[in-house]
Chain A
């Protein structure tokens, strides 16, 4: 499987999915014109990736989105659900939620992800 790398644009985040290193990183702002089209290939790649997990790998997912709109949120829920299901099957998956220390909305959203996707090892990373 080839790694997936999409550089950030003004309205879409950096997507850096290193299958070989078991690392996925989303970073930047997310308000694409078509969130389903933007996140579609990533969702597909993620499903294929978790299906191929052998067990024993430590998967690290870093999300550092300073802004994401509602349709992006909908797509993110799909990604986290895929990860959560894989974690329920015994895979070790950590979700690192990076947010601005001042951003209460992002902080609370992270706390809710922790509640909604309990199989993921959740780590909040407030930054200045």
Chain B
């Protein structure tokens, strides 16, 4: 839209004023009237500009406020979409995504953890206690993890640790430390029942598909269960 159209009225007044100003021998009253008319329109322009500016300032403020709110909501949504509500660690899709991205960048060690006889805990003490055990165990694991490690809940009582910096031996050592910690000191939530876990550890070179890395760790975990639980098995 051209400004001439939007300011057609103002333009007409401007042309009129210029035409009068170009006349050299007009009566003083003509100049006086033209000046008064111009001043009146000038005042109106000022008033309208002021209103427009203050309205747009208010709208801008409101827009900024809403934008901040949107950012906050987007962050909250992103967090909810990627985290397990019970434990606060990554959820299944988020940890898988992180492992996949780590595999795109380099070799990766992976540990799968499964709480031993978790069904019995649930059946004997109830689901709220089961949930508390999971939360407590995760807090314990988090104090043992190496810097850079990520943990996610794959489902139920099964968790995955991504070790992007450790080799197979480093990941194995971390799993051993977790196992030893659980054996040395029972979880506060269930001190009368020694909660243990079984661990499967695997390693894969860069660009290995996630499923391959994961199923090797899962097979090692199965082996650990078969061998009597409460142990760490490394994939071949």
A residues adjacent to B (C-beta < 8 A): 33-37, 40, 70-71, 73-75, 77-78, 81, 104-105, 108-109, 112, 116
Contacts and interface: CB of A to CB of B under 8 A. Distances in A.
A78 B1 contact: no
A109 B55 contact: yes
B204 to A, nearest CB: 54
B58 A35 contact: no
Q: In which size bucket is the chain B interface?
A: 10 to 19
B6 A36 contact: yes
B41 to A, nearest CB: 11
Contacts of A35: 1, 6
A78 B55 CA distance: 17
A-B complex: 8 closest residue pairs judged by Cβ atoms: A36-B5, A34-B1, A36-B6, A105-B58, A77-B48, A112-B51, A71-B6, A70-B52
Given A36-B6, A70-B52, A71-B6, A105 B1 contact: no
Contact of A33 (B1, B51, B55, B56): B1
A102 to B, nearest CB: 11
B219 to A, nearest CB: 59
B62 A105 contact: yes
Interface centre among A36, A81, A108 (most CB of B within 10 A): A36
Task: Specify the main secondary structure of chain A where it touches its partner.
Answer: helix
Contacts of A108: 55, 58
Given A71-B6, A74-B6, A105-B58, A36 B1 contact: yes
Interface string B28-50: 00000000000000001001100
Contacts of A81: 44
Contacts of A34: 1, 5
A71 B7 CA distance: 10
Contacts of A78: 9
Interface in B4-37: 5-6, 8-9
